Amino acid sequence: MTITLPEDFTTLCSIYQIKPDVFIQSFVNQVSFPHFYSRPHAPDRWATFFFLNFIDIEDAKCEVNDDLEDEYLTKFTDAISQHFYPNHYDEAKAEEVGRVVMRQWMKAAMADRAKYITENL
Amino acid sequence: MERPHTMIFYLDENSAITLTKDFCVICELQNCYPKEFLEYFMGRVSIADVQARAGLKFKEQNFPFNFFLGVAREFGRPATEGSDLTDMQIEFYQRMEELSLEIYNIRDLQERTAILRDFYLTYHHNINQS
């Protein structure tokens, strides 16, 4: 896997003395649905916004099972909102249950893809 | 069903909508009242609905809104406008972009529309207060 670093990016990295890999690492660390949706007012949500924008714009390039997406995103939102009370709002717990649903979604998506392959043999 | 004989709808004492004969005739042929038709049409003009649909990849488009936007742009303000936005406007546009992405996890069309409608209404109230 190789990434091309464009001029403007490397220029900025040089000026501010940031190692490109450190920067990219901190970016990907922020890409998280459980974190994003459990902390609506956190300042570190930009990377996930970027991700959401990406799947919005580059829709054709992302191959996702829409039915599974609907099912698991709804489950995900329900799970998180269980911990969304005005008075005792448990961010960590919300993030945790959200992550559990995301893992289930990934498993379901993998199983769905495998099914597609075996059916076409 | 009795048809309205007049071609003019009075909105209040000072303003009225004049309908062309062509429009009235086609309403007659389709067996619907001009009032019902206009109400339905205007009821569909909703930016909240359009955004809610777009995120869910709905194939069905909101044609009344597209038509509305086409007319509004055609007869709209000159293109030079828009350079001096207030802080509130900038904040509104930023939040608008964020929100349309953020509601990705809401898969129910009604719920999405409600969130967006609430957002636009709040802004509408804010600009009317100040």
Q: Where are the domains of chain B?
A: 8-44, 47-129
Average pLDDT over residues A69-98: 87
A24 part of a folded domain: no
Q: How many CB atoms within 10 Å of residue B95? A: 14
Taking the Cβ of residue A66 and every Cβ of chain B, the question of whether any pair is shorter than 8 Å is answered with yes
Question: Looking at the predicted complex, does its ipTM rise above 0.85?
Answer: no
What's the confidence (pLDDT) of residue B1?
46
Enumerate the residues of chain A whose CB falls inside 8 A of the CB of residue B57.
59, 66
In the block, residue with structure tokens 């100040």? B130
Query: Mapping DSSP to helix (H, G, I), strand (E, B) and coil, where does residue B18 land?
Result: strand
Enumerate the residues of chain B whose CB falls inside 8 A of the CB of residue A76.
105
A25 part of a folded domain: no
- With 0-12 CB in 10 A as exposed, 13-18 as middle and 19+ as buried, what is B129? exposed
Closest CA in chain A for residue B58: A66
Q: Nearest-CA neighbor of A35 among A101, A106, A104, A95? A: A95
Q: Nearest-CA neighbor of A52 among B117, B115, B80, B97? A: B97
Nearest to B107 among A33, A49, A70 (CB): A70
Nearest to B105 among A53, A55, A76 (CB): A76
Enumerate the residues of chain A whose CB falls inside 8 A of the CB of residue B102.
49, 52
The answer to whether A67 touches A51, Cβ cutoff 8 Å, is no
What's the confidence (pLDDT) of residue A77?
92
The counts of H helices and E strands in chain A are 6, 0
Q: Return the structure tokens found at A106.
A: 């990934």
Max CA pair span of chain B: 54
What's the confidence (pLDDT) of residue B121?
92
A102 part of a folded domain: yes
What's the confidence (pLDDT) of residue A51?
93
A16 part of a folded domain: no
A26 part of a folded domain: no
Give dist(CA A35, CA A37) in Å, integer: 6
Average pLDDT over residues A103-115: 91
CA distance, residue B103 to nearest chain A CA (Å): 10
Mutation test of the interface with chain B: which of A35, A53, A105, choosing the one with the most B Cβ atoms within 10 A? A53
pLDDT band at B3 (very low <50, low <70, confident <90, very high): low
pLDDT tens sequence across B19-73: 888 888 888 888 888 888 888 888 999 988 888 888 777 777 788 898 888 888 7
What's the confidence (pLDDT) of residue B73?
79
Q: Looking at chain B, how many residues does it have?
A: 130
Can you give the residue range of the structural domain that contains A103? 31-119
A20 part of a folded domain: no
Give dist(CA B54, CA A57) in Å, integer: 11
Beta bridge partner(s), residue B8? B18
| CA distances (Å), origin B116, targets A85, B18, B20, B37, B119 | 22, 33, 35, 25, 5
pLDDT band at A96 (very low <50, low <70, confident <90, very high): very high
Average pLDDT value over all residues in chain A: 89
pLDDT band at B75 (very low <50, low <70, confident <90, very high): confident
User: Between A1 and A116, where is the model more confident?
Assistant: A1
Q: Return the structure tokens found at B17.
A: 């909508």
The answer to whether A77 touches B106, Cβ cutoff 8 Å, is yes
Closest CA in chain A for residue B98: A49
pLDDT tens sequence across B93-123: 889 989 988 998 898 889 999 999 999 999 9
A95 part of a folded domain: yes
What's the confidence (pLDDT) of residue A13?
95
In this prediction the pTM is 0.73
| CA distances (Å), origin A32, targets A3, A28, B94, B116 | 21, 8, 21, 23
Q: Looking at chain A, how many residues does it have?
A: 121
Helix (H) or strand (E) holding B16: strand B16-18
A52 part of a folded domain: yes
Report CA B46 to chain centroid distance, whole Å.
Answer: 4
CA distance, residue A3 to nearest chain B CA (Å): 26
Domains: count for chain A: 1
pLDDT at A18 over 90: yes
Mutation test of the interface with chain B: which of A32, A52, A65, A74, choosing the one with the most B Cβ atoms within 10 A? A52
Taking CB atoms and an 8 Å limit, are B104 and A59 in contact across chains? no
User: Between A27 and B9, where is the model more confident?
Assistant: A27
| CA distances (Å), origin B3, targets A76, A120, B25 | 52, 61, 11
